[in-house]
Amino acid sequence: MNVTIVDYNSGNISSVINSFNEVAKDKVNIEVSSNLETIKTSDKVVLPGQGSFKNCIDGLNSINGLIDTLNLFAIEHKKPLLGICVGLQMFADVGYEEVETKGLGWISGKVSKIDNKDGKFKLPHIGWNEINITKDSEIFKGIENNSHMYFVHSYEFVPKDKSVISATTDYSSKVVCAAERENIFGTQFHPEKSDKIGLKIIDNFLKL
């Protein structure tokens, strides 16, 4: 099985690469690439994202044909794709970080700033937080509800259709921290920084 981690200069993705390699051992071939042919012929794709929504979308757009290739992979061919942090947020129709920016439009919704209740909640939201698993998901197989995951973000994904939400976390309000639709999965938290439980999520994705 070939899994490609998409490298489009969205910040440091070494921890993503290391944790996927740790879980994959020698059973799965992990590639880090922005090569369109490599992505097209992969069995699974990981879309990481660090920094702002706009920067990440700009990064995808800077590689000619990359967004079309991702659309072909995830939407037309319906192969499994995992978005991490801003990788999940980009599934939305639109993001409002820095300026209004068009997203990939894979799961209808928007990305807006977390309401910090007039400074009561620090932004960015950094650190470990409990997650509330809201639906039976292959990604959360063998993971207990109220497990702790590691977060770094100031913006949240607000999907139109609440049935796509697979987990939330309480930070100012119920923040969506995992969403999925058919073959597309996304986590707002960082599984690669979430210790053994995070590695279990990566393992679940690789076993899909």
Decide if 56 is catalytic.
Answer: no
Q: Which residue stretches of the chain have pLDDT < 50?
A: none
Domain ranges of the chain: 2-206
Decide if 85 is catalytic.
Answer: yes
| pTM higher than 0.85 | yes
**Letter for the amino acid at 82?**
L
Whole-number pLDDT of residue 168: 98
**Topology, domain 2-206:** Rossmann fold (3.40.50)
Signed CA dihedral, 23, 29, 35, 40: sign only: negative
Interatomic CA distance for residues 134 and 143, integer angstroms: 12
Whole-number pLDDT of residue 205: 98
Active-site residue identified among 85, 97, 125, 153: 85
Whole-number pLDDT of residue 118: 80
Decide if 190 is catalytic.
Answer: yes
Whole-number pLDDT of residue 119: 81
The pairing of beta strand 29-33 with beta strand 101-102: unpaired
List C-alpha distances in Å: 208 to 39, 122, 168. 18, 36, 22
Whole-number pLDDT of residue 9: 87
Length of the chain: 208
